[in-house]
């Protein structure tokens, strides 16, 4: 099983155990292409990696003029804070908090109430941020305290409800009539949200440009990364991890698991609240629909995809989940991305260069066959060429048959694609070879015909599929360490 | 030191432990033997707070242990190992031991995050203590192994690590649940020596569950035999090993003969 | 008083639907200890299938076939369809993860839920369909006892859900597969050693669980609620709540929890404001969870060392 050749004894010596030495390499190697990419990455020393990232971030913040891009970056930063927070709750302490996004919303709404014309309160930011962080932490305490003794599943349930209660309360709090009052008071703006929030203001300096927010978030993230890394390596972080490993053994070693769980929960909540405050300050408006399950799934996907428990994983996951959708919004870019991913998938799945070439050729052939079949059955072709948005689809114009009734054929191809993928996972090697080009064609067909016009749905579909596939193929995410689980 | 009085542990209709009385004096090494299902591990679970006894008391000196959570029991001074080794597998060897010093240390979240001097000093001390404890087992758990994940350890090393981890909680009483299980004769001999060293060098009071009679013979000041949750014999090894009830409990139930 | 009874009837009807969803959750949790987050979306698919069967038979107004037959077909096709969907989901999203950590199937379930919702959005679009039940079952039909009216639709739904619950009870207790399912729920390894074909039984469990959800979906549609791709989320949550309320893993518990939940919801809507009704329901349930975390009929879990 080991990839070590007999002559490769350079790392051996008295007292060194070959098995142990090869261990990390083995884990990496087993995971194919991704593993190879990772071991390449690992050659770069740690501080250099962070240094590069930091350098890139500085350059970006100093040079980029496009406000839209800066805004994306700030959103990424906020999202990363959320990923950090969930990382602490889920991966350090092993708790399943399904209402996490409610703390984010709580922080944002608090900011809206404390720094806006809505309630005519305009506290300076130097005051609002600590207030928000502390109160969200308090809320986290209130939520987790009664459920301390609950087993994992039950905490998930209670937090899920809490998340819903939050949304419901906010929606309904646009007309609260206090006993004795004449008319109802609008606290939260209900489904309309609260617009017109104050910009951040520190000691008279107002954040007039998005760039100010960018630097602020960058500094916060740097500090947080250092702090979290430190905590992870020391007493509390270790104790958290023991809870995740084996809570019974942990408790038997004197670790007060309930207190620590609460601590993790509260810390995560506080981070989310902080992120919420910043988000509100950037968006200058809050709407409760942004703080519900769709965002929750994004954060979870980010944590899991990137690799639970690792800071680099969080960064990568946040990047994928936050920046990618932005890329998908632009049809030209999303098309290139799609083709790239498809090509990558085919390359990863076919083990040899010969097979890769064969598959591509077969893909081309399938396309032409499809063309023939459609024309044979007299299916009407799309008259205009509005579907050919990007450069790649322009090339594909004569190869890909795009029917007129796009919705109908899109649906059919969608069902066929799912069936084909399902079949692929159970089929033998030979059948897989034939199935792969067909799947590729169906995917391209579906993409051009339907998905490219519906980026938001596409994004969700990809996330859903990714979550399932990831759990099966690589549950530790891209940058996480493979874990040994005790059942 | 440790006194168990009229202890009964009932699960539904089954009395796993029935009116048990055990006394362990300071510095003693007492072995608990008995066929499978006799209630030995249940006894450990009750002492360490995992189960709350149906009736009876567990006293550590003047302190009542029954009803306390496992964490509190540990802080009172009772540490244990598990029958089927429960290490923190994905954490490194040294982290397993360092983590167990939790109750004896106090760096909080902020102190660690801000890298305050007190936190850094404590971290250093914890690390040194862990290294010291691991060195107790000689060369087996030293050097390069410290940074390796616990799941990479061999079975015997895992058992040793578990003992080291238990020691990190600074206990007065150590409960070892089948420390020699699955070990070859050489490793078994080492465990016997380790247990003796734990008594003499660390001054611990030790309660051991064991099936291997060589170990029992080698370490015990006293042996207690249980069957169906009841004490059927107590005394030195010779006396208990030749006790008719004990022999019947083992042979009469068709368990394999002495290893 | 009659108002109270009216709300009670409404609540029980609603509760019957919740009970069916809850049963689906509890069955799956029993055998696999997974919280099947995708369950609510299977319910949604069931509602859609029923809708399309209705359309296909020319309905709702100009139905080509007699109405009872149409309703029967809706249920039959839908339950079969969702049952198969349940099996497919199990095969591809849960089976590979049987030996993984506890979180992996949960995340996978989340993925399935997202997939289903968005696939439905893509294929069916975002327009809300309606069963328009009153066109084939006049809303004036039914009977009245004093001031309390029980309209035909509600009555049918209530009776159907009771029938299904009863059928499920028989299946679990009297058939071999049902008993095998209970055995697996108690101790999976022992069941394997007794020669039980785990895969087959789990497949059946998912089939039944999903079929119940499908039936619930149609009932929801019949009660004149809209059919859309996101309709499964809140009912799924509530059905889940009901299962937990009654004690997750306990079949009578799921039935009890469902009915109770339905009644509570009807009562809060009837006596307190409709706006906050969901909030009250959830708060009440959090409270119950904290007092009795194992649910009303659940068993206490013992940690083993």
Reference C83, options C167, C168, C207, C201; nearest CA is C207
**pLDDT score at C135:** 64
B259 lies in some domain: no
Chain C neighbors of A483, CB-CB under 8 A: 101
Query: How many interchain CB pairs under 8 A, A with B?
Result: 119
Same domain as B161, residue B83? yes
Give the neighbours of chain A: at least 3 Cβ pairs within 8 Å.
B, C
- Domain limits for position C253: 2-291
Same domain as B56, residue B161? yes
Q: Which of A100-114, A301-315, A388-402, B101-115 has the lowest mean pLDDT?
A: A388-402
**Chain C contact for B82 (CB, 8 A cutoff):** yes
To 10 degrees, what angle do helices C39-56 and C67-89 make? 140
Average pLDDT of the residues of chain C = 82
Chain C neighbors of B82, CB-CB under 8 A: 305
- Neighbouring CB atoms inside 10 A of A42's CB total 13
What is the per-residue pLDDT across A230-271, written as a single tens digit (0 to 9) for each? 998 899 999 999 988 888 999 999 999 888 988 999 999 999
Has residue C138 got a pLDDT over 70?
Answer: no
**Chain C contact for B41 (CB, 8 A cutoff):** yes
Greater pLDDT, B98 or B2: B98
Report the pLDDT averaged over residues C204-228. Answer: 88
Same domain as B103, residue B55? no
Reference B247, options B222, B213, B214; nearest CA is B213
C304 lies in some domain: no
> Is A20 close to B145, i.e. CB distance below 8 A?
yes
**pLDDT score at B176:** 94
Q: What dihedral angle (degrees, nearest 10) is formed by the CA atoms of A109, A111, A112, A115?
A: 160
Same domain as B247, residue B165? yes
Cα B204 to Cα B32, B172, B197, C180, distances in angstroms: 17, 6, 9, 50
Band of the pLDDT at B127, cuts 50, 70, 90? very high
C80 lies in some domain: yes
What's the rounded Cα separation, in Å, for the pair A184 and A172? Answer: 12
Which are the contacts of B105, defined by CB distance < 8 A and separation ≥ 6? A235, B122, B126
Greater pLDDT, A16 or A444: A444
C147 lies in some domain: yes
> Is A169 close to C107, i.e. CB distance below 8 A?
no
Nearest CA in chain B to C302: B51
Final residue of a structural domain among B152, B180, B204: B152
What is the per-residue pLDDT across A369-418, written as a single tens digit (0 to 9) for each? 888 888 787 777 776 666 666 667 777 777 777 777 777 887 888 888 87
B256 lies in some domain: no
**pLDDT score at A325:** 77
Chain A neighbors of C244, CB-CB under 8 A: 154, 157
Best residue in A18, A24, A234 to probe B by mutation, most B CBs within 10 Å?
A234
C180 lies in some domain: yes
**pLDDT score at A3:** 46
What's the rounded Cα separation, in Å, for the pair C24 and C29? Answer: 9
Has residue A30 got a pLDDT over 50?
Answer: no
CATH code, C258: 1.10.3470
Q: Cα A320–A326–A328 angle (5° rounding)?
A: 90
Reference A164, options C79, C83, B160, C284; nearest CA is C284
Has residue A143 got a pLDDT over 80?
Answer: yes
B230 min Cα distance to partner chain A (Å): 26
**pLDDT score at C60:** 60
Chain B neighbors of C299, CB-CB under 8 A: none
For residue C43, give the H/E element and its range. Answer: helix C39-56
- Beta strands C142-145 and C148-151 are antiparallel
> Is B74 close to A483, i.e. CB distance below 8 A?
no
Greater pLDDT, B4 or A153: B4
C109 lies in some domain: yes
B142 lies in some domain: yes
Give the neighbours of chain B: at least 3 Cβ pairs within 8 Å.
A, C
What's the rounded Cα separation, in Å, for the pair A145 and A437? Answer: 54
Average pLDDT of the residues of chain A = 79
For residue C23, give the H/E element and its range. Answer: helix C2-32
Greater pLDDT, A452 or C250: C250
**Which residue carries 């322009």 as its tokens?**
A394
B199 lies in some domain: yes
Report the pLDDT averaged over residues A299-303. Answer: 88
C303 lies in some domain: no
Domain count, chain B: 2
Same domain as B168, residue B179? yes
- Domain limits for position B164: 2-87+155-251
B258 lies in some domain: no
The dihedral built from the CA positions of residue B98, B100, B104 and B107, taken in this order, carries a sign that is positive
Best residue in B77, B88, B162 to probe A by mutation, most A CBs within 10 Å?
B88
What is the per-residue pLDDT across B42-61, written as a single tens digit (0 to 9) for each? 899 999 999 888 888 898 88
Same domain as B173, residue B141? no
B223 lies in some domain: yes
Greater pLDDT, A353 or A18: A353
What is the per-residue pLDDT across B185-211, written as a single tens digit (0 to 9) for each? 888 888 899 999 998 888 889 999 998
Same domain as B246, residue B169? yes
A251 min Cα distance to partner chain B (Å): 5
Same domain as B180, residue B135? no
ipTM: 0.89
Domains and CATH numbers, chain A: 64-329 (1.10.3470), 334-453 (no CATH)
CATH code, B239: 3.40.50.300
Greater pLDDT, A101 or C295: A101
Has residue A319 got a pLDDT over 50?
Answer: yes
DSSP string, B121-151: HHHHHHHHHHHHHHHTTGGGG-GGGGGSBGG
Which are the contacts of A479, defined by CB distance < 8 A and separation ≥ 6? A38, A306, A307, A310, A312, A313, A316
Q: Which of B89, B109, B122 sits opposite A486 (nearest CB)?
A: B89
Q: Is residue A479 classed as helix, strand or coil in its secondary structure?
A: coil
Chain A neighbors of B161, CB-CB under 8 A: none
Same domain as B239, residue B163? yes
**Chain A contact for C300 (CB, 8 A cutoff):** no
Greater pLDDT, A11 or A37: A37
Residues above pLDDT 90, as percent of chain A: 17
Nearest CA in chain A to B103: A254
Cβ(B8)–Cβ(B33) below 8 Å = no
Distance of CA C146 to the CA centre of its chain: 32
Final residue of a structural domain among B152, B172, B205: B152
Query: Chain A neighbours among C 27-56 (CB < 8 Å)?
Result: 35
**pLDDT score at C305:** 37
**Which residue carries 């069957």 as its tokens?**
B227
**Which residue carries 């209402």 as its tokens?**
A99
Cα A54 to Cα A58, A87, A224, A420, distances in angstroms: 6, 21, 14, 43
- Neighbouring CB atoms inside 10 A of C148's CB total 16
C121 lies in some domain: yes
Which are the contacts of A478, defined by CB distance < 8 A and separation ≥ 6? A34, A38, A305, A306, A307, A313, A316, A317
Band of the pLDDT at C45, cuts 50, 70, 90? very high
Same domain as B245, residue B131? no
Has residue A10 got a pLDDT over 80?
Answer: no
**Chain A contact for C92 (CB, 8 A cutoff):** yes
B119 lies in some domain: yes
Best residue in B50, B81, B85, B89 to probe C by mutation, most C CBs within 10 Å?
B50
B41 lies in some domain: yes
**Chain B contact for A241 (CB, 8 A cutoff):** yes
Has residue A77 got a pLDDT over 90?
Answer: yes
Residue A66 tokens read as 């496009």
Band of the pLDDT at A93, cuts 50, 70, 90? confident
Greater pLDDT, A158 or C243: C243
Best residue in B73, B112, B119 to probe A by mutation, most A CBs within 10 Å?
B112
Has residue A17 got a pLDDT over 60?
Answer: no
Of these ranges, A200-204, A310-314, C96-100, the one predicted with the greatest mean pLDDT is A310-314
Has residue A430 got a pLDDT over 60?
Answer: yes
Same domain as B97, residue B164? no
**Chain B contact for A308 (CB, 8 A cutoff):** no
**pLDDT score at A11:** 46
> Is A463 close to C111, i.e. CB distance below 8 A?
yes
Has residue A81 got a pLDDT over 70?
Answer: yes
Band of the pLDDT at C142, cuts 50, 70, 90? low
C296 lies in some domain: no
Same domain as B170, residue B99? no
Query: How many interchain CB pairs under 8 A, B with C?
Result: 8
A259 min Cα distance to partner chain B (Å): 11
> Is B69 close to A251, i.e. CB distance below 8 A?
yes
Band of the pLDDT at A441, cuts 50, 70, 90? confident
Domain count, chain C: 1
Chain A neighbors of C282, CB-CB under 8 A: 161, 164-165, 168
- Beta strands B205-209 and B29-33 are parallel
What's the rounded Cα separation, in Å, for the pair A316 and A306? Answer: 5
Report the pLDDT averaged over residues A340-364. Answer: 76
Reference C297, options C227, C263, C248; nearest CA is C248
Cβ(C161)–Cβ(C19) below 8 Å = yes
Report the pLDDT averaged over residues B23-31. Answer: 89
**pLDDT score at A178:** 61
**pLDDT score at C62:** 61
**Which residue carries 């960018």 as its tokens?**
A214
Final residue of a structural domain among B124, B152, B180: B152
């Amino acid at each position: 099983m080991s990839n070590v050749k007999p002559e490769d004894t350079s790392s051996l010596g008295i007292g060194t155990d070959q098995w142990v030495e090869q261990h990390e390499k083995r884990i990496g190697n087993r995971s194919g292409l991704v593993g190879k990419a990772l071991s390449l990455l690992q050659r770069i020393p740690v501080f250099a990696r962070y240094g590069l990232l930091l350098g890139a971030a500085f350059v970006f913040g100093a040079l980029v003029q496009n406000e839209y891009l800066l805004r994306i970056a700030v959103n990424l930063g906020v999202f990363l804070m959320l990923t950090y927070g969930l990382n602490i709750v889920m991966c350090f302490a092993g708790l399943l908090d399904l209402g996490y996004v409610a703390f984010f919303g709580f922080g944002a709404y608090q900011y809206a109430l404390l720094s806006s014309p809505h309630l005519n309160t305009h506290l300076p930011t130097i005051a609002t941020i600590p207030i928000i962080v502390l109160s969200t932490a308090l809320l986290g305490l209130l939520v987790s305290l009664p459920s301390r003794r609950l087993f994992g599943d039950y905490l998930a349930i209670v937090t899920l409800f809490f998340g819903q209660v939050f949304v419901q309360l906010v929606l309904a709090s646009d007309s609260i009539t206090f006993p004795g009052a004449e008319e109802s008071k609008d606290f939260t703006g209900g489904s309309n949200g609260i617009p017109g929030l104050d910009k951040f203001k520190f000691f008279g300096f107002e954040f007039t440009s998005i760039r100010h927010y960018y630097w602020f978030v960058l500094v916060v993230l740097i500090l947080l990364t250092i702090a979290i890394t430190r905590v992870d390596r020391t007493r509390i972080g270790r104790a958290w991890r023991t809870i995740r490993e084996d809570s019974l053994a942990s408790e038997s070693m004197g670790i007060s698991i309930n207190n620590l769980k609460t601590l993790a929960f509260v810390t995560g909540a506080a981070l989310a609240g902080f992120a919420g405050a910043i988000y509100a300050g950037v968006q200058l408006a809050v709407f409760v629909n942004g703080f519900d399950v769709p965002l929750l799934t994004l954060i979870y996907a980010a944590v899991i995809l990137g690799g639970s428990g690792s800071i680099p994983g969080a960064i990568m996951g946040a990047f994928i989940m936050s920046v990618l959708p932005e890329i998908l919004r632009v049809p030209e870019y999303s098309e290139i991305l799609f083709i790239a991913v498809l090509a990558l998938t085919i390359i990863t799945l076919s083990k040899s260069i010969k097979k890769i070439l064969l598959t591509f050729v077969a893909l081309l052939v399938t396309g032409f066959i499809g063309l023939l079949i459609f024309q044979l059955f007299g299916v009407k072709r799309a008259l205009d060429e509005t579907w050919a948005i990007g450069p790649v689809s322009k090339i594909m114009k004569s190869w890909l048959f795009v029917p007129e009734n796009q919705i109908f054929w899109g649906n059919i191809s969608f069902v066929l694609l799912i069936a084909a993928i399902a079949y692929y996972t159970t089929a033998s090697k030979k059948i897989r070879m034939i199935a792969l080009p067909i799947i590729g064609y169906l995917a391209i067909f579906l993409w051009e015909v339907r998905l490219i016009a519906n980026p938001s749905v596409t994004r969700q579909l990809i996330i859903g599929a990714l979550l399932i596939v990831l759990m099966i193929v690589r549950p530790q995410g891209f940058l996480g360490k493979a874990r040994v689980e005790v059942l | 030191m440790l006194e168990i009085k009229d202890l009964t542990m009932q699960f539904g209709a089954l009395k796993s432990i029935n009116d048990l009385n055990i006394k362990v004096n300071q510095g003693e090494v007492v072995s608990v033997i008995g066929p499978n299902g006799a209630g030995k591990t249940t006894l450990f679970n009750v002492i360490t707070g995992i189960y709350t006894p149906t009736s009876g008391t567990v006293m550590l000196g003047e302190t009542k242990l029954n009803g306390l959570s496992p964490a509190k029991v540990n802080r009172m001074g009772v540490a244990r190992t598990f029958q089927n080794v429960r290490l923190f597998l994905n954490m490194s060897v040294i982290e397993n031991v360092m983590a167990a010093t939790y109750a004896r240390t106090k760096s909080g979240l902020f102190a660690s995050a801000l890298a305050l001097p007190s936190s850094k000093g404590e971290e250093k001390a914890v690390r040194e203590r862990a290294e010291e404890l691991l060195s107790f087992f000689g060369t087996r758990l030293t050097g390069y192994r410290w940074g390796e994940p616990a799941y990479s350890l061999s079975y015997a090393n895992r058992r040793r690590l578990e003992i080291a981890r238990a020691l990190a909680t600074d206990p007065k009483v150590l409960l070892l649940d089948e420390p020699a299980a699955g070990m070859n004769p050489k490793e078994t001999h080492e465990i016997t020596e380790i247990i003796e060293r734990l008594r003499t060098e660390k001054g611990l009071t030790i309660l051991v569950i064991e099936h291997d009679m060589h170990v029992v013979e080698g370490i015990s000041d006293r042996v207690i035999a249980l069957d169906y949750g009841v004490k059927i014999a107590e005394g030195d090894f010779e006396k208990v090993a030749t006790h008719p009830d004990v022999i019947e409990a083992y042979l009469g139930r068709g368990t394999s003969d002495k290893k | 008083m009659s108002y109270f009874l009216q709300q009670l009837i409404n609540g029980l009807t609603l509760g019957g639907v919740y009970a069916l969803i809850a049963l689906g959750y509890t069955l799956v949790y029993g055998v696999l200890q997974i919280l099947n987050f995708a369950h609510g979306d299977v319910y949604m698919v069931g509602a859609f299938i029923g809708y399309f069967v209705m359309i296909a038979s020319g309905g709702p107004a100009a139905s080509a076939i007699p109405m009872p037959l149409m309703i029967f077909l809706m249920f039959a096709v839908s339950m079969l369809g969702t049952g198969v969907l349940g099996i497919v989901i199990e095969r591809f999203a849960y089976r590979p993860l049987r030996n993984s950590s506890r979180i992996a199937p949960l995340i996978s379930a989340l993925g399935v839920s997202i997939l289903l919702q968005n696939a439905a959005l893509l294929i069916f679009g975002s327009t809300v369909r309606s069963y328009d039940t009153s066109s084939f079952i006049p809303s004036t039909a039914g009977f009245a006892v004093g001031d309390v009216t029980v309209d035909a639709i509600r009555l049918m739904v209530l009776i159907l859900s009771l029938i299904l619950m009863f059928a499920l009870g028989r299946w679990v207790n009297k058939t071999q597969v049902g008993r095998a399912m209970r055995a697996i729920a108690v101790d999976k390894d022992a069941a394997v050693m007794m020669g039980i074909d785990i895969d087959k039984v789990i497949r059946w469990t998912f089939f039944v669980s999903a079929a119940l959800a499908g039936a619930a979906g149609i009932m929801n549609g019949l009660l004149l609620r809209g059919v859309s791709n996101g309709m499964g989320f809140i009912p799924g949550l509530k059905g889940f709540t009901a299962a937990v309320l009654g004690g997750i893993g306990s079949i009578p518990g799921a039935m009890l929890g469902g009915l109770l939940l339905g009644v509570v919801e009807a009562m809060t809507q009837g006596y307190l404001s409709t706006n906050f009704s969901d909030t009250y329901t959830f708060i009440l349930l959090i409270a119950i969870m904290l007092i009795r975390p194992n649910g009303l009929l659940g068993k206490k879990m013992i940690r083993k060392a």
